[in-house]
Structure 1
Amino acid sequence: MNTPGTDASLRELLQDRRSIRGYRPDPVPVEVIREVLADAVLAPSSMNTQPWKFHVLTGAVLDRIRSENTRLMLSGAPVQRDVVVSERYEGVHRERQVDIAKRLFAAMGIAREDQEGRIDWTMRGFRQFDAPVSIVIAHDRSLEPIAPIAHFDLGAVVHALVLSAWSHGLGTVINSQGIMQGAVVRREAQIPDDHVIFTAVALGYPDADFAANHVRSARESVDDVTRFVGFD
């Protein structure tokens, strides 16, 4: 298995990249983040609209967001996200969600009855897994009438971002838990009202000793998810 930062083909990057949920405290140089974003913005977008906006957070600002997001979520405050979503999956999608959760809990030694351990894991998500950097991805509010198209494009740029980060020796995890209190994120990061906060990517140098960092999610085969039509 390749490690972050090694020369690799696109296929190797796709195969080796994994979500990182434990980080070293080392700061990430802003020059490196600029290089990652310069790669990311090469992603395709609908009719070249390039709808993405990036707010790169670290230090005291990010710490305040972590703290307040955690406090509000643990107090039972309602979620305040700019993009309203339902994460109640069913059927095979729920099965895949449960499978990765089981793999992560097994790696971390969190038993089914270990409520304290499960709460601690949830709190890690609220804190964006204590990564030294959070990249908040947004789009112009003027695009709300065609939000699904903008969201599709943001998915493309985020994928490019996480692959580029891996090639630069950095780990990432796409983490909407850490921005569930959108008003807090907007206030502390001074994000303009005309930017719709979509998601966040936690970023930093992987902690090789953090067990969950070695967990890989299972993937369906091409034959299980694909139909070929019109081929001989």
Structure 2
Amino acid sequence: QAFSGAHRDRQVGVAKQLFSAMGIARDDKDMRQDWVLRGFRQFDAPVCIIVTYDRVLDGSDDTPFDCGAVATALVNAAWSRGLGAVINSQGIMQSPVVREHAGIADDQIIMKSIALGWPDETFPANAVVSERKSVEEATVFVGFDN
């Protein structure tokens, strides 16, 4: 997805962090392409969960929130059992291929993919922590005393 402004800056920033951690030079197109393909392969995880929703719900403000809650619950459950999980969009960028391979019905919209497996703590990319807005920047609290 093409972002702009601060969102694009964060997207580029995490890419730079990842490539630096992996020792991938800016001009090394082969290694950069290999990294992209690894994302399409769900980072070679043994399991891929595809989060979908019923097409009837498309356009509802609740649907993305609900899918996010499901993804968060799945990731937290995995982590609590020592598994690693990565929520990503790259794994579903070729939705027709994913749909066919996973047997996902046409009445379902593919929202996200979650790579699931045993984490490799020594893999350099796993040490990267992406920049996030603070809770104060992303949330408005009403009715709470400071």
Q: TM-score, normalised by structure 2?
A: 0.87
Instruction: Give the structure 1 partner of residue 77 of structure 2.
Output: 164
Aligned to 1:211: 124
> Which residue in 2 is equivalent to 1:94?
8
Give yes or no for the alignment of 1:138 onto 2:70: no
**Residue matched to 1:6:** none
Does 1:190 pair with 2:96? no
Q: Distance in 2 between matches of 1:141 and 1:227?
A: 31
Paired position in structure 2 for 1:180:
93
Alignment of 1:119 onto 2:39: no
**What is the DSSP-based 3-state SS (H/G/I as helix, E as strand, rest coil) of the residue aligned with 1:192?**
coil
Equivalent AA in structure 1 for residue 133 of structure 2: E
Secondary structure of the residue aligned to 2:26 is: coil
2:66 to 128, 153, 160: 153
CA distance in 2, matches of 1:228, 1:189: 41
**How many angstroms apart in 2 are the aligned matches of 1:145 and 1:225?**
23
Structure number with larger C-alpha Rg: 1
Distance 1:108 1:153, change over 3 A: same
Check 1:100–1:190 CA distance in 2 against 1; reply closer, same or farther (3 A cut). Answer: same
5+ residue gaps, structure 1, are: 1-86
SS in 2 for 1:107: helix
Whether 1:199 aligns to 2:122 is no
Larger mean CA deviation between 215-224 and 188-197 belongs to: 215-224
Between 1 and 2, higher relative CO (CA 8 Å, sep ≥ 6) is seen in 1
- In structure 2, the partner of 1:104 is 18
| Offset of residue 145 of structure 1 | 4.6
Question: Deviation at 1:123?
Answer: 0.9
What is the aligned-residue identity percentage?
57
Structural RMSD (CA): 2.0
Distance 1:223 1:192 in 2: 40
Shift of 1:203: 0.4
Offset at residue 222 of structure 1 (A): 3.4
In structure 2, how many angstroms separate the alpha carbons of the residues matched to 1:224 and 1:142? 33
Instruction: Count residues in correspondence.
Output: 145
* CA spacing shift, 1:228–1:198, aligned 2, 3 Å: closer
The match for 1:43 is none
**Residue pairs, 1:18-37, within 5 angstroms:** none
Take 2:4 and 2:87, find their aligned partners in 1: how far apart are those partners?
Answer: 21
